[in-house]
Structure 1
Amino acid sequence: MDLKVVILPYESAHYTIVLDQSVAKKLDLRPNDRVRVVSRSHEVIATVTIAKEFPSDSIGIYLNVSRILQVNEGEIVQVEPTEPPRSLNVIRKKLARGKITFEEAKQLMQDIVGGVLSEVEIAALVTAIHFQGMSIDEAYNLTVAMVETGRRLSLNRPTILDKHSLGGVPGDKTSLLVVPIIASLGFTIPKTSSRAITSPAGTADRMEAIAPVNLSIEEMTRVIEKTNGCIVWGGALNLAPADDIIIRVEYPLGIDPFFVPSILAKKLAVGSTHVVLDVPTGRGTKARTLEEARRISYDFIELGSMLGIKIQAVSTYAEEPVGYAVGPALEAREALQALSSLKPLDLVDKAVSLAGTLLEMVGIQNGYEIAFEALRTGKAEKKFRQIIEAQGGNPEVKPEDIPLGDKTLTIYSEEDGFVYFIDNPTIALVGKMAGAPIDKGAGVLLHVKIGDRVKPGDPLFTVYSYSSAKLQAVERLLETSKAVGIGKIAGRKMLLEKVSFTPSRPLLER
């Protein structure tokens, strides 16, 4: 049936079109049935939404669908019913506890990227894997399929280093130190990073307070060729794009059964040969204990070995924020300060530990000492400023040049004693309520760490925001939530354990 295009000025969650109920009846279509829409040069499979009193000679097309079809208002397209996608059979198979083959995994990822599967159908797949787990072979199939349905970074370099954190710790800006340390020592490290989803800042948000991060693959390649490293937002690169769609479905469900294939697909897509995996260990993280950290690490190491990626997992201390700053601009400032002053000590220790581990993975002895020397001599800072310039930022930027919110709220101690806990979830929530990460200058600046001695009237932390109303909401929250506890002393160290493992092909259970 030929229908006239009506452009709907909205984006749809997946490929969706709108038909009048009379047209749907003629084509024997029901809500969420699929149709093939063909323009002069392109076609798309879309799901149907049925409307009352929509023009019977027209089809409503959302902006994302119109871009694919390359059609304008009033043009004619052909609409015809089509069979359900073959990948639905794969989802049904998984629901029935079957195993996903490589060809089935590839069909799944093609249909996810192509917008053929609805979010409800993807949610069924996610839920099935969450409750049933996946075998190591399924994890391999899904990882490779994710990579093959997107673009890949081709650097033609034999050794490519990378670092990834499982997250869960506010203020973890270590990538902004690890990347320039490694790049300054002559190694290649293309860091693709995420934006914050549930935290006050992701690595891309932190870097964006200093330099542009929305680079194309071609621009990213030029930066790496010039400096050996980069810190860019992965969402603009079309690397393993199915992963981004799956994450969007996982988030409201509060589950992430794909997280091992998801992470390693991104690493495989940039050609990583050696990866240090930071597994923060403590309350509020994926690994609350060292035993959980080991179990997660084994899954990554096992799948990495099948993909040809050497992985060293490192369990790291996660009972308080890393450094003192939480929020994009505050963290960017602190990273710049750490590169020149070697403080705060916990941030420097963690970054140097991770960088040193990477160096030892490629045969460099005394990796920690060599990484620390790159910081001490200023080599890492010089390299970071080269990366900033190559990505389009100001290489002369000073910490104080990065703007912060002009409204502040400082919380003071009412007790005499030692700081014995800092509640990560509360600090993260305060940062988000202040406006981070959307407002780059919003966040939390701690004045104390666990073990510090305080007296009544000493400042514990300051909240930055651009909004007085948001600070008032923070103040109300802190009336009932304790972010910093004062009592007995509590010691700490940043590097808890290196996880060693000989792959034996266990199941990935999530």
Structure 2
Amino acid sequence: MKLTTRLIDIGNRGVLLNAVDAREISVRDGDRVEVKNLATGETVSAFVDTTATIIGPGTIGVYRPTQVRVDVLDGAEVEVRAADRPASLAYIKRKMDGQRLNKEETYAIIKDVVADDLSPSELTAYIVSTYTNPLDMDEVEYLTRAMVDTGDQLRFPSYPIVDKHSIGGVPGNKISLLVVPIVAAAGLKIPKTSSRAITGAAGTADLMEVLAPVEFTATEVQQMTEKVGGVIVWGGATNIAPADDRFITVEYPFKIDARGQMLASVMAKKYAVGANLVAIDIPVGVQTKVPSVEEGHRLAREFIDLGERLGMRVECALTYGESLVGRTIGPKVEVQEALAVLEGATEPNSLIQKSLSIAGIILEMAGKAAPGQGYALAQDILASGKALAKMKEIIEVQGGNPAVTAADIVPGTYQYVVNAPTTGYVIELNNKALISLARAAGAPQDQGAGVCIHAKKGTRVQAGEPIITVYADRKWRLQKALEEGRRLMPVVVEGMLLDRVPGRHWTTRGGQQYGQ
């Protein structure tokens, strides 16, 4: 059927058909059509929406992404016909039924993901199928290679190329802001491509965006790394393993991170940037993604196995995940804390020790330090100011202000201080609840949103002393966070859990009762 185009500025990849024309072509909402530009012969596949009123018969509404791909002008004539469903849908159905996928089937799915040939519901079905029917190691390898092969890759003229990654699950894990400049200051190349938040309140890319732009092409990432030794960028803008950020879009609202998908996501990005030495941080704790040391060892073996399959040397660090890293959760407050350490602050110990441990592993893997001496070398680089100087170079090469200091980073305008309701010890800090609290305040989209923990687990507090400050960029977000805090009770001071069942609550400095 020949139809006249009407360009519609909508960001979905699709077209809008009048219901009469849709019946004539034998398609309905969610089906696919092929749209052929009669002037150029270019043909693309597009998803169908239908209407009885917005456009009339004989006209096709062409959404912006489809218009770009088919290169058609407003008012031009196009030929439209029903399109077949992609074969990858049958493979997704196989996975939904609990069957294994082979290499060809996996590649077909990932190619369609990258080409945007799967609808949001179809992509969601794939993600959920791998969550409910976990991938085995062969499937993880197929997925990893497919994710790499369908995107750009970096190829450096000299090696080693090092990288690190944390699997997440523990709040405030801002160590890349210390590890990357320490490692780069030691003369190594570390092109750190990072994700935005999936289950947390701020991914590494969200943090770095407070200091500098993070969206660059693969070529720019390579050039910047060659120039200053390291970068901290958002992997989604590089076209490096581009399927991964499509996956994250689906995973984010569900707060899921399927194990096989996570293994492939991490290792695909490391493999694609040319890394041959990789350190993996695996936080372990009841409230993390890895609840026990035994489970951490199993996951470490899977990372090492996958690395061997890809020709990469991988070492894993099982780290303490029962408490947040440092004292802050949220983009600006975490960046402020990390910059302060680079500038010479000697607290918080958890952030400093974890960062130096991971950096030390990398330095030993690369031969920059003898076995067992990596931590000390990393500590020397941090204490000497070389890491701060390197971080300023990284910020500058990415287009940020290299003169920025911790004092320049100001958290959200709206703040609320939660005080200890009684004298005693902090006996519980619920990681998941703290993350939910920061997200409710607006993190990571609102950079100023987050929480600062004044008293960590095991700390003795006096009645009326601050235990948490909640920050928000918008007043209504702060109120939403307080409501979330009342529901989740992220902090418990000794005695309150038994003394006030079920009416546990926080108090303000003025004595008004809220949340614990």
Q: TM-score, normalised by structure 2?
A: 0.89
- Is the aligned partner of 1:266 residue 2:273? no
- CA RMSD across the alignment: 2.1
1:72-471, aligned counterparts within 5 Å?
Answer: 72-95=73-96, 97-252=98-253, 255-257=256-258, 258-339=261-342, 340-363=344-367, 364-365=369-370, 366-471=373-478
Structure 2 residue identity aligned to 1:426 = A
How many angstroms apart in 1 are the aligned matches of 2:364 and 2:117? Answer: 45
Q: Which residue does 1:492 correspond to in 2?
A: none
- CA contact 2:436–2:484 (8 Å) conserved in 1: no
Q: Which residue does 2:5 correspond to in 1?
A: 5
How many angstroms apart in 1 are the aligned matches of 2:458 and 2:94? Answer: 54
- CA contact 1:5–1:76 (8 Å) conserved in 2: yes
1:71-127 Cα offsets, whole Å, 9 max, x none, are: 332222222223222223333444455443323322221112112222333333334
Q: After TM superposition, give the deviation of residue 330 of structure 1 in Å.
A: 0.9
- CA contact 1:45–1:115 (8 Å) conserved in 2: no
Structure 1 residue identity aligned to 2:50 = I
- CA contact 1:342–1:376 (8 Å) conserved in 2: no
How many angstroms apart in 2 are the aligned matches of 1:479 and 1:87? Answer: 45
Q: Which residue does 2:16 correspond to in 1?
A: 18
Q: TM-score, normalised by structure 1?
A: 0.90
Q: After TM superposition, give the deviation of residue 51 of structure 1 in Å.
A: 2.4
How many angstroms apart in 1 are the aligned matches of 2:126 and 2:445? Answer: 31
Aligned length: 486
* Residue from 474, 484, 488 that aligns with 2:481: 474
Q: Percent identity?
A: 40
How many angstroms apart in 2 are the aligned matches of 1:358 and 1:83? Answer: 49
Change in Cα spacing, 1:404 to 1:248, as seen in structure 2 (3 Å) is: closer
Say which structure, 1 or 2, has more relative contact order (CA 8 Å, 6+ apart): 1
1:238-271 Cα offsets, whole Å, 9 max, x none, are: 1111222233334455544322112211111111
SS of 1:387's equivalent in the other structure is: helix
Unaligned ranges ≥5, structure 1: 489-510
SS of 1:279's equivalent in the other structure is: strand
- CA contact 2:333–2:452 (8 Å) conserved in 1: yes
SS of 1:341's equivalent in the other structure is: coil
1:398-421 Cα offsets, whole Å, 9 max, x none, are: 111122222221111122222232
Change in Cα spacing, 1:383 to 1:86, as seen in structure 2 (3 Å) is: same
1:155-200 Cα offsets, whole Å, 9 max, x none, are: 2232111111111222111000000010000111111111223432
- Is the aligned partner of 1:38 residue 2:36? yes
Change in Cα spacing, 1:481 to 1:117, as seen in structure 2 (3 Å) is: closer
How many angstroms apart in 2 are the aligned matches of 1:227 and 1:36? Answer: 47
1:484-505 Cα offsets, whole Å, 9 max, x none, are: 22339xxxxxxxxxxxxxxxxx
- CA contact 2:199–2:256 (8 Å) conserved in 1: no
How many angstroms apart in 1 are the aligned matches of 2:436 and 2:252? Answer: 17
Structure 1 residue identity aligned to 2:326 = G
SS of 1:211's equivalent in the other structure is: coil
- CA contact 1:210–1:402 (8 Å) conserved in 2: no
Once the two structures are overlaid, the 10-residue window that deviates more, 30-39 or 207-216, is: 30-39
SS of 1:268's equivalent in the other structure is: helix
Unaligned ranges ≥5, structure 2: 496-516
How many angstroms apart in 2 are the aligned matches of 1:345 and 1:131? Answer: 38
